[in-house]
Amino acid sequence: MVKKIIDQYGKDGVIVVLGSPDADSSELYAETLINGDPSWLGPLAGVSLDLPVYHIMEPEIKSQIDPAVYKEHLELLEIALDVEKITEGLNRVRQG
Amino acid sequence: MELKGKRVIVIGERDGVQGPAIEECIRSAGAEPVLVQTQCFV
């Protein structure tokens, strides 16, 4: 599906926002969407899309969300997710 | 990364933040969702 979207819109101005529950799954999504499927099994095997990947809870993204909307949808989840670890994991993949 | 004016591929997860919730949030920041999914691995 992601590849279809990129074929349709191109990569310019397209970013990915994740809602994954932990650092490991966030890293795996980011690795796949930046460098291609590391398991070499899915449709993105060998396809390096090099997309900007962020998590919805990362401070850089969170700060741009309307506070009322954030409160309604994300505030409670912030307690359950380890945002610091997720951000660390994504930074690792983004920095190569 | 500024969200305003960006096209966004939303990959939510049932056990984390679900796609529609992310969609609402990024819309409020001026971005356009072009794909919204919620993964479930159960």
Whether A77 and B16 lie within 8 Å, measured CB to CB: yes
Whether B35 and A20 lie within 8 Å, measured CB to CB: no
Copy the structure tokens of residue B24. Answer: 């609402």
Question: Which of these, A67, A48, A61, lies nearest to A87 by C-alpha position?
Answer: A61
Percent of chain B with pLDDT over 70: 100
Condensed to tens digits (0 to 9), the pLDDT of residues A32-87 reads 999 999 999 988 999 999 999 999 999 999 999 999 999 999 999 989 999 999 99
Please give the ipTM for the structure prediction: 0.96
Condensed to tens digits (0 to 9), the pLDDT of residues B18-36 reads 999 999 999 999 999 999 9
Domain boundaries, chain A: 2-94
What's the gap between Cα A29 and its chain centre? 6
- Check residue B42 and give its pLDDT: 78
Copy the structure tokens of residue A89. Answer: 């994991």
- In our burial notation (b when 16+ CB lie closer than 10 A, e otherwise), range A29-41 reads bbbbbbbbbeeee
Domain boundaries, chain B: 7-39
Q: Which residue does chain A place closest to B15, by CA atoms?
A: A21
Residue A22 phi, psi dihedral angles, 5° rounding:
-150, 175
- Report yes or no: A56 and B25 within 8 Å, Cβ to Cβ: yes
Reported in sequence order, the residue ranges of A11-94 that DSSP labels E, i.e. its strands, are 14-18, 53-55
